[in-house]
Structure 1
Amino acid sequence: MLSSLRIRHIGVIDDALLEFGPGFTALTGETGAGKTMIVTGLGLLLGGRLDRGRTTTASAVDGTLELTGHTALQDALDELGAEADDGEVIISRRVTKDGRSRAQIGGVPVPIGTLARLVGSAVTLHGQADQLRLRDADAQREALDDFDAGTVRPLREAHAELWRRRRDLEERRRRALALHQERDRTEAALSAALTRLEEIDPQPGEEQQVRADLERLGHAVELRAGSERASLALIGEDAPSVGSLLDIAQESLRGPAAVDDALAPALERIESLRLEVSDLAADLSRYAQDVDASPARLDAANERLHELTALVRDLGPVLGGADDLEGLLEASRTAAADLERFAGAEAELADAEQEIRRIDEELEVAAGHLTAARHAAAEVLAGAVQDELAHLEMPAASVRVDVLEAPAREHGRDEVRILLAPHPGADHLPVATAASGGELSRVMLALEVALGERRTDHGAAAPVFVFDEIDAGIGGRAALAVGQRLARLAQHAQVIVVTHLPQVAAHATTHLQIVKTAEDGVTRSTVRALDADQRVPELARMLAGDASSERALAHAEELLADAQQRGADE
């Protein structure tokens, strides 16, 4: 239930607080007093936009919504982290003069779309231009499902669960098919790459080694000549060498060392140097002999380097984009695992498709049960709405609720159309086009009354209905009938009505008057709650335009008494 609404700086309303009753609240006032601004404020809480011309400063709307029975809404607010106090949540909307907007629910900032979705789950705004239940196919289907929720909703949820499972299976099938197609594209390439790697058999670090060999082979003559000269310098016979000089030094110290032991260490070091020089010269000589300067060896190294380079160039894109030999060898180690993964794709695809076929059979059965339940509910709903229309001075109207086949979706394969023949002999057409403005409002009211009684039967939370100009284009007995049916609807929901008809306002349990005042050339409006005595002159004003007319006052008292008696009888 919407317990209160505060509006600031919207049109002629500077600051107004409205406290609604739990049943039927009527909003009345003179033309231009600001009744439309009340609806505009409520619309802002439902995500509507504000005409910039309606305010010269920032506008604000705050509403207090009781959450009792609105389990889904409470869960959504808990997920947002919104604060609720004693089962109530504060909803706020701020709009600046330049059109910037902010919204909060329970102190948590939310996008306008989220505001509309959450508040709209509890509050429905009906106006001449937005009879959504009568214009939108999805809303008409929801209305039918709500009407027989005890039967239809379990069947619909069973269908939705199967639909979600099929959607998951379809995603599984899509992944398996993509893997299967990828296998077709890459399996042969991977197998060929691994075969070529096995044939060439590159080794870790081989490319660097081959490049080092090529560097050495390119300088083979220089390497051989240098090592040979170095060997001769150490122990050569044709010219003085390190070895021959060490021999002289050794012979020179041998005799003195025999006389003085102090020279013995020096002699030992010279002998050690002589042996080291001989070994070094031998190593250099062997190195010179091993240097291969043959063109065949150079060609072989160049060929191996080309082979390794081509391997990286050709197989790199196939094996994960490797750009060197080390990366190629690393990628090859995971390629075998990729082939195993591809091997299971065909079996996974077959399993998914088999499961989809099985669940399609279950969906067909579930959709059939759901369609049958909707057909049965549609016949009863049409009768209930038609009965209500008889109470609303449309006894000759004929209502038909058609359940037509439509593309399958989560909620089933049905499209629901509420059709109206406003008088005998007329074709049944969608109510949005078959009914006049006043008839459209009454059809919508008849639908809500029929739904409201069933909603109570199924234990659903009582919604909030806001009706703007539902009585436009009607009067007399029809207006009185609308007031009576609104009162009946208020037994199962909270009803807030902006009206200019006393026959409607008389049935309200809470009566709020929008009062217009003019001061210093500025018009302002406020809202006041009327007690029983204050309601009589307001109804008299609505009846005759004169709140002091004795005849109008008597008629107003009669209207109130009759409405109260009818309420007591029901």
Structure 2
Amino acid sequence: MLQNLNITDLAIVESLDLNLEKGLSVLTGETGAGKSILLTALGLALGERADAGYVRPGSQRAEITLSFDLSDAPNAQAWLEENELDADKQCLIRRTIRQDGRSKAYINGSPTTLQALKLLSSQLVEIHGQHAHLTLLESDEQRELLDNYAQNTSLLADTNQAYLQWRANFHELEALIKSSTDQSNQEDLLRYQLNELEQLDLVNYDYAALSAEHTKLANLEQILNVGQIQLNLLSENEQQSANHLVNQSISALTGLTSLASEFDEPNKLLIEAQIQINEATQQLRRFLESQEIEPQRMQELDNQISIIQNLSRKHHVSPDELPQVAEKLNQDLENLSHSTERIDELNSLVQQNQQQYFSLAKTLSQKRIKSAKKLSTLISSMIQELGMPQGEFSINVTPQTIEQPKINGTDKIEFLVSANKGLPLRPLAKVASGGELSRISLAIQVTTSHDKNAATMIFDEVDSGIGGGIAEIVGQKLRTLGNRAQVLCVTHLPQVAAQAHQHLFVYKSNDTAMTTSQVRTLTTEQRIEEMARMLGGVNITKSTLTHAKEMLMTGQTNL
């Protein structure tokens, strides 16, 4: 439950420290006194978006702090433990808002995000604003109310998980089928391109070697002519060849080494040179003798290199990269064949997902139909007590025939009501007036209060459009609800205020230069005076005070 609300510099609230009790607490006060700003503060602390307009003029920042006792909020305690934020069954939420509109949030002293704060808040507090009853007209809200009452949380989660698995597999299957429409043409193209590359003998493919061979054959005539000339100069010309001249030098120097030893080393070098010349001559002669102009081979190389260059341009790669292109084409071709296998696999998975989904959805429908009957009876009884004696409420659950799974099951869920005897049940939005909607909303909240996770429920003028004896019954129902959970209610009705366990009075103070909004807990005498004011009239008479006192005494007999 919410133990304490502390506000600093928020709008017209300069400083407020409010302790709250169990049971039903009402907030009353003149219009414009600041009751709404208290609910705004709660909303901000629980994760609603903030802006600079909330900061009190002249202040640097606004701050709201909520203190909770988690003894009656096991889900919130579990969430804190899971997120390593627990603090001995206590929870302190703090929200600050700066002048520039930026804000920070803390849970038990640790910084947190608004998303995390909202997740925790949903386990702590449930707020019903002035127009909360209008959400009853929304189909999702009606479904959620029924599922909460039927305790369908786990079953609904399993059903939606089956739907999500079906959707993921179905979308993948659709994409593959769409792409497979052109698969045959694509496969033919890949095979054609691969065949083009395979004519290059990719296993032994060496473009550098082919290019070198082509260059040599293209210039073979020049190679042979130059080679033969050099062979003649080295050895073939007996009188002027390099070998003959070196040989002459060796003979001359050999005869002089006995006369001058300095000739010995140059002579040895010439002998080595002669050996190198002879070896070079032999290699050159062998090469020239082995070469032969081959027009046919040259034509083959011309054709092959032309093909390679054309394919390189076609695939936008260098000739050396063509083997990698062939490898990728092979992989793409293999993937196409695998996509057929995947389509078969996905068809099977989609059928399995559908069977699982429709089985779960059928069980969900059965539980909803069974719970709808019970809840309809309970709410009908409650709205009859709330001033609609001939009223009848019904929850219509109609399983829809659908071919494909959808989120939240196959049911169409609709709240129906008949406000008067003899009139047929019709959709809530087409029948109920504003006051009737308020009473129906309250009836639903009271009836389903056992199914709420939040230990604190806040109602902002849910009694609008109600008066007289019905207002007293509404107060009694809120008090009954307060016996099971902490209830805070903003009200203008003395009949409701009389039922409260705690009465909080909101008022404006003009003691300072700037108007401030303050709250105080009323004593019994103060409650009588406030209820007399609420009963009406500018001048409060003894009769009005007596009426207020009797009303309070009657309300408190329910303690």
TM-score normalised to the size of structure 2?
0.86
CA shift at 1:264, angstroms? 5.6
3-state DSSP of counterpart to 1:396: coil
CA shift at 1:280, angstroms? 1.5
CA shift at 1:138, angstroms? 1.0
Q: Which of 411, 417, 421 is residue 420 of structure 1 equivalent to?
A: 417
On the 8 A contact 2:28/2:504 being kept in 1, the answer is yes
Shift of the 311–265 alpha-carbon distance from structure 1 to 2, 3 Å rule, reads: same
How far apart, in 1, do the equivalents of 2:289 and 2:74 lie? 95
How far apart, in 1, do the equivalents of 2:418 and 2:55 lie? 40
Moved more, 226-235 or 335-344: 335-344
> Which residue does the alignment assign to 2:529?
537
CA shift at 1:164, angstroms? 4.1
How far apart, in 2, do the equivalents of 1:547 and 1:91 lie? 43
Q: Alignment RMSD, CA only? A: 3.5
Q: Which of 448, 451, 456 is residue 448 of structure 2 equivalent to?
A: 451
CA shift at 1:7, angstroms? 2.9
> Which residue does the alignment assign to 2:85?
83
> Which residue does the alignment assign to 2:144?
142
The answer as to 2:435 corresponding to 1:438 is: yes
How far apart, in 2, do the equivalents of 1:359 and 1:372 lie? 20
Moved more, 339-348 or 20-29: 339-348
Moved more, 33-42 or 48-57: 48-57
Q: Which whole-Å deviations, capped at 9, do the CAs of 1:433-460 have from their partners, x for residues lacking one?
A: 533332221111100111014x2xxxx6
Q: Which whole-Å deviations, capped at 9, do the CAs of 1:206-250 have from their partners, x for residues lacking one?
A: 222333344444544543343333333322427633212212112
Q: Which whole-Å deviations, capped at 9, do the CAs of 1:303-329 have from their partners, x for residues lacking one?
A: 221111223344x4xxxxx72344332
CA shift at 1:202, angstroms? 3.7
User: What aligned pairs does 1:503-522 form with structure 2 within 5 A after superposition?
Assistant: 503-520=495-512, 522=514
Moved more, 512-521 or 444-453: 512-521
> Which residue does the alignment assign to 1:119?
121
Q: Which whole-Å deviations, capped at 9, do the CAs of 1:129-162 have from their partners, x for residues lacking one?
A: 232551221111111112222xx44543443343
CA shift at 1:30, angstroms? 2.3
CA shift at 1:47, angstroms? 1.8
Shift of the 494–50 alpha-carbon distance from structure 1 to 2, 3 Å rule, reads: farther
> Which residue does the alignment assign to 2:517?
525
User: What aligned pairs does 1:109-508 form with structure 2 within 5 A after superposition?
Assistant: 112=114, 115-116=117-118, 118-131=120-133, 133-149=135-151, 152-153=152-153, 155-170=155-170, 173=173, 177=177, 184=184, 186-202=186-202, 206-237=206-237, 240-257=240-257, 266-288=266-288, 298-314=298-314, 316=315, 323-333=317-327, 336=330, 339-405=333-399, 408-453=405-450, 455=451, 461-508=453-500
On the 8 A contact 1:517/1:525 being kept in 2, the answer is yes
How far apart, in 2, do the equivalents of 1:554 and 1:83 lie? 51
Q: Which whole-Å deviations, capped at 9, do the CAs of 1:17-68 have from their partners, x for residues lacking one?
A: 2322232111112232111211222233352566948953544433234445
Moved more, 119-128 or 467-476: 119-128
Q: Which whole-Å deviations, capped at 9, do the CAs of 1:234-284 have from their partners, x for residues lacking one?
A: 224276332122121122134445678886665444333222212223333
On the 8 A contact 1:179/1:345 being kept in 2, the answer is no
Moved more, 284-293 or 349-358: 284-293
CA shift at 1:505, angstroms? 1.4
On the 8 A contact 2:14/2:56 being kept in 1, the answer is no
Q: Which whole-Å deviations, capped at 9, do the CAs of 1:540-570 have from their partners, x for residues lacking one?
A: 3333568975444433332232222123xxx
CA shift at 1:338, angstroms? 5.2
Letter in 1 for 2:212: A
On the 8 A contact 1:8/1:60 being kept in 2, the answer is yes
Aligned residue pair count? 553
How far apart, in 1, do the equivalents of 2:415 and 2:194 lie? 67
CA shift at 1:474, angstroms? 1.9
How far apart, in 1, do the equivalents of 2:258 and 2:365 lie? 125
Moved more, 328-337 or 192-201: 328-337
Letter in 1 for 2:389: P
On the 8 A contact 1:61/1:93 being kept in 2, the answer is yes
On the 8 A contact 1:40/1:50 being kept in 2, the answer is no
Shift of the 506–203 alpha-carbon distance from structure 1 to 2, 3 Å rule, reads: same
How far apart, in 1, do the equivalents of 2:430 and 2:298 lie? 93
Moved more, 541-550 or 278-287: 541-550
Moved more, 295-304 or 515-524: 295-304
3-state DSSP of counterpart to 2:371: helix
How far apart, in 1, do the equivalents of 2:16 and 2:25 lie? 16
On the 8 A contact 2:52/2:100 being kept in 1, the answer is no
On the 8 A contact 2:55/2:97 being kept in 1, the answer is no
On the 8 A contact 1:546/1:552 being kept in 2, the answer is no
Among all aligned residue pairs of Structure 1 and Structure 2, give the percentage whose two residues are the same amino acid: 27
Q: Which whole-Å deviations, capped at 9, do the CAs of 1:520-542 have from their partners, x for residues lacking one?
A: 55321111223445433333333
3-state DSSP of counterpart to 1:409: coil
Shift of the 337–74 alpha-carbon distance from structure 1 to 2, 3 Å rule, reads: farther
How far apart, in 2, do the equivalents of 1:120 and 1:547 lie? 44
On the 8 A contact 1:405/1:415 being kept in 2, the answer is yes
Letter in 1 for 2:385: H
On the 8 A contact 2:227/2:288 being kept in 1, the answer is yes
3-state DSSP of counterpart to 2:196: helix
How far apart, in 1, do the equivalents of 2:319 and 2:91 lie? 66
> Which residue does the alignment assign to 1:319?
none
How far apart, in 2, do the equivalents of 1:47 and 1:433 lie? 32
CA shift at 1:201, angstroms? 0.5
On the 8 A contact 1:540/1:547 being kept in 2, the answer is no
How far apart, in 2, do the equivalents of 1:184 and 1:95 lie? 63
